[in-house]
């Protein structure tokens, strides 16, 4: 009934060729570029390229943490489930404490959201870990406060991409201004979410594996052929 492309390899190849053609990627370093491409691909918006921000030596720090088997700590179950376990180089644990039994009580005691309160359970896991926040601005604010006050150890890297209309912009500005020596990846403005956050982790995992194929894992030779004939 419908005439549409069905070959998954071809779909990926054309998608990434489109991003390369339409997005201005010149300001990104060689190691940042595949992560930026993955972010654009996850949201289908080449215009988001101007909102992508990298801080510090985040690619090297994050990939090293993955090689060392450090955990990935997520603010939401959707982020956790979006991370592709087979890509992780050291069977890294992927943790979300949002639904822990005592999270409700901690949130009530602290007068904050469950997402923020859930971070209190990261004490034994956060040192050198990768943080993936894709939902709650309160979680990112709470994390930055806890690190600044010395209540939590420093992670290897923070992927801070909370989404929304209340606090999302502000929490990401706080990350860029107050992360200290903790490197980060973020998206300025209201946009963010679980899918793009998980896609960022997956891109870092591919780099940690030393994957020299295209960012989606397809054969690079085929991708170059497609680009050459388009």
Catalytic site residue 67?
no
Which of these is catalytic: 41, 125, 142, 148?
Answer: 41
Token pair listed for 230: 């388009």
Phi (first) and psi of residue 4, to 5 degrees:
-145, 160
Instruction: Give CA separation, 119 vs 36, 66, 143, in Å.
Output: 27, 20, 7
* Alpha-carbon gap, residue 44 to 211, rounded angstroms: 23
* Alpha-carbon gap, residue 183 to 163, rounded angstroms: 20
Does residue 91 contact residue 77 with C-beta atoms inside 8 Å? no
Tokens 């009580």, located at residue = 105
Catalytic residues: 41
């Amino acid at each position: 009934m419908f005439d549409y492309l069905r070959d998954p390899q071809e779909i990926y190849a054309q998608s990434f060729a489109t991003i390369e053609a339409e997005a201005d990627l010149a300001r990104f370093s060689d190691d940042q570029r595949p992560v930026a491409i993955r972010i654009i691909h996850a949201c289908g918006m080449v215009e988001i390229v101007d909102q992508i921000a990298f801080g510090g030596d985040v690619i090297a720090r994050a990939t090293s943490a993955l090689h060392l088997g450090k955990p990935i700590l997520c603010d939401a179950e959707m982020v956790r489930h979006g991370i592709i376990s087979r890509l992780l180089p050291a069977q890294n644990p992927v943790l979300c404490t949002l639904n822990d039994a005592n999270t409700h009580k901690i949130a009530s005691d602290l007068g904050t959201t469950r997402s923020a309160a859930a971070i209190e359970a990261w004490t034994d896991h956060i040192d050198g870990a990768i943080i993936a926040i894709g939902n709650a601005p309160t979680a990112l604010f709470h994390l930055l406060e806890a690190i600044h006050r010395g209540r939590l150890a420093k992670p290897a890297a923070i992927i801070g991409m909370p989404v929304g209309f209340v606090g999302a912009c502000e929490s990401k500005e706080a990350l860029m201004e107050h992360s200290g020596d903790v490197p980060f990846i973020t998206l300025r403005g209201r946009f963010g979410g679980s899918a793009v956050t998980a896609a960022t982790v997956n891109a870092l995992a591919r780099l940690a594996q030393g994957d020299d194929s295209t960012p989606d894992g397809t054969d690079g030779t085929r991708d170059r052929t497609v680009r050459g004939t388009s």
